Structure 1
């Protein structure tokens, strides 16, 4: 077989593609043309002492040609060059760096480099394996192609919350349920005639219980469920169990925080890049948004639809910005006046909703004491669910009102989504806060420790002998009622509306019209449900497990509803906005839920008749008592962590690291600004060269 001749660089000035020497060329030299470029007017990018354009020495030219000739065979020997891969630039760069590290590790021959190479390859394989087993990846891609990136972000958030609840359920089982039974079977409920200074507690009714009562107990968390692993009061007062119970709360909270922060940071990068204007041009969407690694007609169509939705968002927001730019002073004043009036209306609606929640919570306590309510189980169930019913009704009525108000304010679609989300999340989370404040008034006698009902035990033991279980029951009812409300909306409103729209082509069908998937309302429903779980997971340990089953059912129901009853949204919005804003609202919900839990742990005395912390002055008191049983060296170290000798150096080191991070971010910002300016200058260079080329071609034509 004939061998192919080795490639050799042609001499400078030959006709093989290299430019001829300056002596052999006629007309203006290349250096003179380059020195006339706009970028040559300043030394900002080249610095002082740099030779002018075209002043490269002949030896340097020969050296660069020789280096190119030596590197070319090496590139040809690569099995799969990075530049030929159908990947983005970042992936190509990572592939090239990884290939270089592998070559260095193989060439060194040391055992350390060999094991480092094996470890890195195993990590990459594990990461790729996790990416391939990621649930519902194709479903999310299909949803994004047919309904836009905003709808896809809802299902992505639902999958993320499902993962959070599944991990929390595993930790709860390992740190609470297993220690409960490993130390022996937990004891039963207190005897009916058992009493103490803090009253008596009888969670299970005596005698036969009708089936209807059992069903109502299942819905309200009372009866046979009240003394079960579902609620706080079931767990016995064992030292090891108390420690693991309390540590599980902090471990799960830390896990939530880290995973949400990780998701927020990844979404922040996309949001900053999208909002900066660097990637919002139409040329980027047209020339750089296509994935050349796609195979199959279905994938190609989905990618085309995604690009179509992105261009639609850009065009809609460009129209709104263009209208805002040409407003007169009077029109601008009118717009701000309308916004002020609409915001006053929003605050009035929110105030009325909060007062209604507070009234419903107080009325529930009064109605439960009436004999008629106690004799009728169905009426008692309705009274128990009165706060949940009112909160769900408010959350069902007001978000559509906010959606009608937002377009009247004259903002872009993405800004409208943000305002709708802010108002809706404030409504939902503040309603939950009002409910918790009402329960706090009942538990602590409105904060009056000298009240008759709270003076003996530190809490209202007459009405709430096990206040932790009562709080867990309220969160359990909120979770269950939210699920039942979602099922009712799907079965009784959305599907009949779709049938009515298809069977009635006349005015009635146009009135029903095809419904769209309301991303803000659906997302805030998820965040509200997750916040309820975060508040109640300490008082109802199995609540994350129930929420996992709920979200799993909700995913398939919403998917069925989306593909069978909904049409693509007429007005879409950027996925980058929601990818950052949704985790941010999740962090807000996590912070709000941490307040009542930490307040209960540190300040409210635990119930004396139920729970693993009975007999303690506070729930947190179990931690110092356990530390005192450790060896003296460990005690000294743990107590040292709480002294000023440890806190002050830690604060100083944190301040230094923060200052360094801020300085580094500022330097990166200046570098980015310089690079942007350089890009603008390069664009001017291209325009200048194009003009010179046109002028030279015109001159040659006249000659």
Structure 2
């Protein structure tokens, strides 16, 4: 194709004049860029290589006129940034399951890859939670118990306490029959009840070292607050990162195609297998974009009658969903009441199966509800005609409400039984149902332990006895019509995500009542990763409906944040409202767990006490709340302004794109872009500024 020359000078001589000071626009751009040369890398600017070399020369010229101190500061800043980049590059090679997750991304798309990345995040989170509890609670006890340090235990003083409230009969009947060990291992009773796995084991007031006394009750409460605060901050930080990505990517669909086609390839790939995986990943991303575009076009072409029909159908189906949820909640309530009323029978009066059924009845009902309802919701949502992205989000919302609400129903049912006295004198004296729950914190921890163990057993059982046999039947019995209709399974992202969010919520609630539960959760999620990877690779087929990873990562964290908020509610009530057990645990000398905080504050100097009381008073809380509201409104307004800037920059880029089509016909001086996208010189620089501003916004 012949190209009409628009200037006399050759192209290589033009490139050096892009930023000449004689051009007012060029000098303005040069001045704006050179001001930031010290703080930003030249490679970040959307300019060709000749202009980047010119900027580098300008930077080196500017360095000559700086003082030695300023030169050293800029050199140190560059060296530090280069060191951070190298360190960040090295840490990527140390990521847990990095190769496995990249392989999954190439074979099954970024939607399923986001699930395994999410699972890896939960493994690291639980490991950190366990380390917090271990350092604050377990380590001082172990150092004293095994005489590693010169320290002694400080026992709890039993003052002004009725002796009947301190009775804690631990059954030793697990030694009678061999199968009792299995029951104890699965339910946390018997020999496990007396170990450091549960709250009741930590019945000491403190640890006396040479120079100070370690306050174990305060450390126990601080560890709970610390792991909840850490979880909140970590989840919010990752959610904000995902939200920023969604804010940029969700506005312009055409830009998404361009980014993947023209800038989606990773030129650092040198391995053939990794190149094939990258090809597959890009193909899945484009298929997901096209699928969403098809659904969006289908929705836009609906008539009024079709719209009314689909909304009426959705209303009816949502009524069915609410009815299913109500039935599940009622079944869990009845099962919990029945189990708690019969669990105190002697073990030798019941056979092995009956005893195990009574102990695990709430867990069985909850697991059945969690197993059946996603199947019902998946069937229902196919008739509601949503886009793939919204379909997965709505299914997750329904399932998360179901799964997390079942835990709340169980916990609040236990709480009502613990505080229900029914005119019992001993119950009113102790403040809780001492006959049924002599150490109610340990028994709540046992319920959380049973939920986690049973959930893990069900995941393994479904994979071994359902997924793999189904794959064998589909492979070797494909001639049967029923097997063909059943077909090879797909990896259900909503159900699997809700499974690990459900397990993590159990861990958050149970970590206060069972301090070693985060360690069990870490081991559980590690095993689940390999089990799910094997199931995905050998029993699942790629889904014909693709899902975006960018939206999924943010939404998974949002669901996890909901689970954390629901976990904080029962923990707050347990710590501040329900009287602590008088027969076990580190808080036997306190009315409630939270009473350790006022007791600790009372030991502060008078000036510090006045400061703490002032901060916690209403006189400080009301102005502080008003200031927080003002700051929140400011950031909301700032976010709105940033969004408007993003829209303006997009319109500016769109205008430059339109001008690039008319520029060759008008005989305007052309620059360094390809023939099909050439732009007038001022507009080209404007596009570079707009692109940089869009990334900053």
- Does the alignment reach a TM-score above 0.5? yes
1:298 to 267, 273, 290: 273
1:366 to 326, 337, 341: 341
**Residues 407, 63 of structure 1: alpha-carbon distance in 2 compared, 3 angstrom cutoff:** closer
Matched, 1:494 2:498: no
Cα distance between partner residues in 1 of 2:74 and 2:320: 67
Cα distance between partner residues in 1 of 2:520 and 2:305: 55
Pairing of 1:470-481 with structure 2 (within 5 A): 470-481=443-454
Cα distance between partner residues in 1 of 2:419 and 2:26: 81
CA deviation digits over 1:630-674, x for unaligned, max 9? Answer: 333433333332134543553454344334323322322222222
**Residues 280, 675 of structure 1: alpha-carbon distance in 2 compared, 3 angstrom cutoff:** closer
2:296 to 314, 321, 327: 321
Q: Is the 8 A contact 2:174 2:184 kept in 1?
A: no
Partner of residue 360, structure 2: 385
Shift of 1:618: 0.9
**Residues 84, 637 of structure 1: alpha-carbon distance in 2 compared, 3 angstrom cutoff:** closer
Partner of residue 555, structure 2: 581
Pairing of 1:5-16 with structure 2 (within 5 A): 15-16=9-10
Pairing of 1:504-653 with structure 2 (within 5 A): 504-507=477-480, 508-644=482-618, 646-648=620-622, 650-653=624-627
Cα distance between partner residues in 1 of 2:298 and 2:557: 32
Partner of residue 283, structure 1: 258
Shift of 1:181: 3.3
**Residues 279, 201 of structure 1: alpha-carbon distance in 2 compared, 3 angstrom cutoff:** farther
Q: Secondary structure at the match of 2:22?
A: helix
Shift of 1:325: 1.5
Cα distance between partner residues in 2 of 1:100 and 1:212: 79
Partner of residue 178, structure 2: 211
Q: Secondary structure at the match of 1:293?
A: coil
Q: Secondary structure at the match of 1:621?
A: helix
Shift of 1:279: 5.5
Q: Is the 8 A contact 1:601 1:618 kept in 2?
A: yes
Pairing of 1:234-313 with structure 2 (within 5 A): 234-239=201-206, 240-278=215-253, 281-313=256-288
Q: Is the 8 A contact 1:500 1:512 kept in 2?
A: no
Q: Secondary structure at the match of 1:620?
A: helix
**Residues 17, 663 of structure 1: alpha-carbon distance in 2 compared, 3 angstrom cutoff:** same
Q: Is the 8 A contact 2:166 2:582 kept in 1?
A: no
Tell which structure's C-alpha radius of gyration is larger.
1
Shift of 1:183: 4.5
Shift of 1:373: 7.7
Cα distance between partner residues in 2 of 1:217 and 1:291: 53
Shift of 1:214: 1.3
Q: Where does the alignment leave 5 or more consecutive residues of structure 2 unmatched?
A: 1-5, 147-152, 207-214, 669-697
CA deviation digits over 1:222-250, x for unaligned, max 9? Answer: 00111110000000231411111010001
**Residues 509, 188 of structure 1: alpha-carbon distance in 2 compared, 3 angstrom cutoff:** farther
Cα distance between partner residues in 2 of 1:537 and 1:112: 48
Matched, 1:431 2:406: yes
Pairing of 1:85-234 with structure 2 (within 5 A): 108=69, 120=81, 122-184=83-145, 196-198=163-165, 200-205=167-172, 208-234=175-201
Partner of residue 416, structure 2: 441
**Residues 118, 274 of structure 1: alpha-carbon distance in 2 compared, 3 angstrom cutoff:** closer
**Residues 333, 171 of structure 1: alpha-carbon distance in 2 compared, 3 angstrom cutoff:** same
Matched, 1:463 2:436: yes
Cα distance between partner residues in 2 of 1:549 and 1:670: 47
Q: Secondary structure at the match of 2:594?
A: coil
Higher mean alpha-carbon deviation, 494-503 vs 609-618, is at: 494-503
Shift of 1:361: 0.8
Q: Is the 8 A contact 1:106 1:114 kept in 2?
A: no
Shift of 1:578: 1.0
Q: Secondary structure at the match of 2:467?
A: helix
Partner of residue 50, structure 1: none
Q: Where does the alignment leave 5 or more consecutive residues of structure 1 unmatched?
A: 1-11, 21-55, 695-703
Cα distance between partner residues in 1 of 2:573 and 2:301: 53
Aligned residues: 628
Q: Secondary structure at the match of 1:248?
A: helix
Q: Is the 8 A contact 1:413 1:573 kept in 2?
A: yes
Q: Is the 8 A contact 1:364 1:384 kept in 2?
A: yes
Shift of 1:616: 0.9
Cα distance between partner residues in 1 of 2:186 and 2:556: 31
Partner of residue 60, structure 1: 22
Matched, 1:675 2:646: no
**Residues 207, 264 of structure 1: alpha-carbon distance in 2 compared, 3 angstrom cutoff:** closer
CA deviation digits over 1:584-630, x for unaligned, max 9? Answer: 01110000000111111111110000000002111111111122223
Shift of 1:179: 2.1
Matched, 1:485 2:458: yes
Partner of residue 454, structure 1: 427
Cα distance between partner residues in 2 of 1:563 and 1:442: 46
**Residues 278, 502 of structure 1: alpha-carbon distance in 2 compared, 3 angstrom cutoff:** closer
CA deviation digits over 1:267-309, x for unaligned, max 9? Answer: 1122233322355653343223222232222122111111211
Partner of residue 397, structure 2: 422
CA deviation digits over 1:448-504, x for unaligned, max 9? Answer: 696656311111111000000000000000000001101101111111111112221
Shift of 1:564: 1.4
